[in-house]
Amino acid sequence: MIAAGAETIAAVATPPGQGGIGIVRLSGPDAKTIAEGIVCQSLKPRRVKFAEFRNQTGETLDEGLVLYFAAPRSFTGEDVVELQGHGGPVVMQLLLDEAVGRGARLARPGEFTERAFLNGKIDLAQAEAVADLISSSSRAAARGALRSLKGDFSRAVFNLDQQVLHLRIYLEAAMDFPEEEVDFLSSGQVVEKAQAIGQGLTNLLRESTQGVLLNDGITVAILGAPNVGKSSLLNVLSGEERAIVTDIPGTTRDLLHVDLTLQGLPVRIVDTAGLRDSVDPVEIEGVRRAEQQAVEADLVLLVTEAGYAKTNVWSGSEPLIRVANKVDLTELEPGLVENTDGIMEVRISAKNGAGIEVLRAYILEKVGFVSEGSTYTARKRHLLALDEAMQALRRAQVLIDENLQAELVAEELRVVHEALGTIAGVVTADDLLGEIFASFCIGK
């Protein structure tokens, strides 16, 4: 592991603004000396002390608690000191300036966590989980982030990693006895081991997909002809009268969004202008934005009026849910049904709420979200790595089936291994590290 550096870093670790308590955190070789200078007393590890915080001329800046964690038993693995003062922006800035004046340097975003990673306190997936926990927007997302932070995700990856390693070792042995190589491959052992790895990868991919959904949330665009009830649908889904609803076609022009959670999944619903040909430049722009939003969304709700012949206003691709609104004006039953064209549609009434629960559930189903069961926090990066591992494993399995050379199989398994290694950060490019930690807040 690379040493994290000899510099001592400092940052305000609490959010900006006013609060009961504000914390300046220091990490690095001089953290203790700098803090002892400020509090004018010596510090003992894991002891809390009450102290006055003073500047170099002896003027008191604030008073509060000081905590010292000696390396390596700290978050970063270095000497860490927390100065807990009063949570006002001016006081915090004074304290921070004082720390800098005594030799610390301002921390970059995520630098404390980066040091924890570089010092081997946590792996990369856990470091990412720190940021995910802080930014989680639902209980389920927070729960997933905490599981990853505690290392559950990393352990599952490591477990697979070990299985791949064993298989590689087994194959290396096979290569040492070339005359028996074919028997090795066809012995069933290799096939079984590869299958077990495949199963493990499938499980991990499934759970991680849930994690990415929970972390990133989804965007759902409501699309359709004018006056079909798109804005009414936004309102009923959000439980508030957010969008203007009138019986005049072309009411909505701008995009309007509402953020909500469905069974813990963060969902952004976007209402759009009704799609039609127009000569009004404002409406033309509204339609352009609507279509662009539909392309960017994770899911489109294509709204029509129940019982009317459907005009094809949008020919975009899946995932898409057909919603037939105003079912209250017809004899039709609300709910999920196969329409006369053999296509599934959800019949609802944005007016009286009929079918809305079914629609909510169907949205979750369409994006592949299962609310039960525990999941991890995960990022697209993890999915890509798992996917790469899966593809290499599939290639290896084909080679095994065809009884080809063990070398070729071993080479594919090496790819599986490396792909898994990127998740924990065992093999990681520096620029990726920079990217990951730059997305943190300062002081973490």
> Which residues of this chain interact with Mg ion, rule CB under 5 A?
230-231, 251-252
Smaller CB separation from Mg ion, 230 or 444? 230
**Structure tokens belonging to residue 364:** 């979750």
Q: Is 245 one of the binding residues for ligand GTP (CB under 6 A)? A: yes
Query: In angstroms, what is the minimal distance from the CB of 315 to ligand GTP?
Result: 18
- The runs of H, that is alpha helices, within 217-323 are 230-238, 281-296
- The answer to whether 143 contacts ligand GTP (rule: CB under 6 A) is no
Q: Is 49 in the site for ligand GTP (CB under 6 A)?
A: no
Pair of tokens at residue 246: 């009138």
- Pick the binder of ligand GTP from 37, 250, 319, 335 (CB under 6 A): 250
Give the CB-nearest residue to ligand GTP. 274
Site for ligand GTP in 328-347 (CB under 6 A): 328-329
Tell me if 325 contacts ligand GTP by CB under 6 A.
yes
CB of 334 to ligand GTP, least distance (A): 10
The pattern of x and - marking residues 266 through 285 that bind ligand GTP according to CB under 6 A reads -------xx-----------
CB closer to Mg ion, 135 vs 251: 251
* Strand runs labelled E in 71-164: 80-87, 105-106
The single residue among 126, 349, 375, 377 that binds ligand GTP, judged by CB under 6 A, is: 349
User: By rule CB under 6 A, what count of residues binds ligand GTP?
Assistant: 23
Task: Please report whether residue 226 would count as binding ligand GTP according to CB under 6 A.
Answer: yes
Stretch that binds ligand GTP, among 51-59, 87-95, 241-249, 416-424 (CB under 6 A): 241-249
* Distance of closest approach, residue 363 Cβ to Mg ion, in angstroms: 19
Region of 33-41, 179-187, 191-199, 250-258 interacting with ligand GTP (CB under 6 A): 250-258
Contacting range for ligand GTP; rule: CB under 6 A; set: 109-117, 194-202, 248-256, 396-404? 248-256
Q: Judged by CB under 6 A, does residue 115 bind ligand GTP?
A: no
Residue of 184, 121, 185 lying closest to 149 (CA atoms): 121
167 vs 267: CA distance, rounded Å = 42
For position 33 contacting ligand GTP by CB under 6 A, the verdict is no
Residue 357: which residues within 8 A CB-CB, separation 6 or more? Answer: none
Q: Which of 227, 218, 228 is nearest to 348 (CA)?
A: 228
- 322 binding ligand GTP? (CB under 6 A): no
CA 235 distance to own-chain centroid? 27
Instruction: Report long-range pairs for 161-168 (Cβ below 8 Å, ≥24 apart).
Output: 161/417, 161/420, 161/421, 163/193, 163/196, 163/197, 163/200, 164/197, 164/413, 164/416, 164/417, 164/420, 165/417, 166/193, 167/193, 167/194, 167/197, 167/413, 168/410, 168/413, 168/414, 168/417
CA torsion sign for 235, 238, 241, 243 is negative
Residue 258 Cβ, how far from ligand GTP at the closest point, in Å?
A: 14
Separation CA 384–CA 381 (nearest Å): 5
CB 347 to ligand GTP: min, Å: 10
Neighbouring residues of 326: CB distance < 8 A, sequence distance ≥ 6: 228, 229, 305, 306, 307, 349, 350, 351
Quote the least distance from Cβ 229 to Mg ion, whole Å: 8
CA gap 132, 214 in Å, rounded: 10
Contact residue for ligand GTP among 8, 136, 215, 227 (CB under 6 A): 227
CB of 335 to ligand GTP, least distance (A): 14
At 248 the three-state DSSP class reads coil
